[in-house]
Amino acid sequence: MSKSVITALATPFKNGKIDIDGYVKLCKFQQENGVDALLALGTTAEAQLLSRCERKLLLALTKATVNLPIVAGIEEPSTAQACREAEQYALLGASAIMVAPPSFCKCTPSGYFRHIEAIFLASKLPVILYNIPSRAGYALDRKTVKRLTERGYVNYVKDSSSNCDFATKISPYCNVLCGSDERLSDYLKANACGVISVVSNVAPRLTKAAVNGNEAVKRQFDTLASLAMQEINPIAVKYMLYKRGIFASYEMRLPLTRASAKTRRAINENWEENII
C-alpha cells in the first residue's frame, strides 16, 4: 500500500505581510507534484506568529487553491480557544485537525485527554495528535494515546520525538506519521504509514518516492532533510523555497530570523538543480 505524504506548508512573507501569490504558488506546486494532503498552520507555517485573521486567510486560500485534503494545525494551549479554532476550521473546509500539546502551561495526562476530547467534540473532525516534546516540553504517553483511540477521538499521531520505540509501540492501535524527515527511514521500519514533511515543500515528488522506499532517491532526500534542519524550522526550508523560485523572499517573523550566511552557504554548496 502506498504511504502518504502530507506537506507541512511554509508561509511566505513580503514586508511583514503574507505573500498571497507565493502561498498560492506553493499550494499549486504541491498538488501538481502528487502529494496526498496539505498541512496548513503547522510549525513550518510559523502559525504561532500569525494573527487569527491570518490563520483563517491561509486556510481559506489553501481550500480555494487545491483539491486535496487539508489538515489545519492547532497550537493553542487554551482548550476553550482551541475549540473555537477547531469549529472555525471545520467551517472553512478542513478535513482534519492536528493538535499540538498545550505548551508552557503543560497539563496532566487527564487534562490532556480532556483537552483533545473537547476539541474533537467541538469540530467532529478527525484529530491527529502532534508529539513534539522539544517544543511542547513533554512527550505523549502510550496509555493516553491508546485511551483516545479507543474512544474514537484519534486515529493518527504525528511523531516528531525521534523516539521510534514509541512509534513502534503505538502502531498496533494508532497510525503513525513520521514528523522528522531526517529519521524517515527509521520511522518506516517502525511501521509509519506516511510522513508530514518539511522537505516536500521543495521536493514533493522526491519525498513521495522516498516514503515509498525508492532507494535511488535516498541520498538526495537525506541531504535535503539535513539541510532543512540547519537552523530552527522553517528558517532553512524558506531559503530553499526562495532558491527554487517558489517564494520571492526568505523573510521570517521575529523572533525567528532569516537564514544565516552559514545556512545559506551549506544549502548553496549541496544544492542540486535537478530535484525531482
- Annotated catalytic residues are 130, 158
Parallel/antiparallel/unpaired status of strands 13-14 and 17-18: antiparallel
Q: What is d(CA 79, CA 85) in angstroms, rounded to the nearest whole number?
A: 10
Whole-angstrom distance, CA of residue 165 vs CA of residue 147: 19
Strands 127-131 and 96-99: parallel
Q: What is the DSSP letter of 126?
A: -
Choose among 26, 48, 28, 54: nearest CA to 238.
Answer: 26
Which residue shows C-alpha cell 516528531? 160
Per DSSP, the residues of 50-83 read: S-HHHHHHHHHHHHHH--S-EEEEE--S-HHHHH
Render 15-39 in DSSP notation, one character per residue: TTEE-HHHHHHHHHHHHHTT-SEEE
Alpha carbon distances (Å) from 71 to 39, 85, 166, 175 = 5, 13, 23, 15
> Are 144 and 172 in contact, with CB atoms under 8 Å apart?
no
Cell 505573500: give the residue.
19
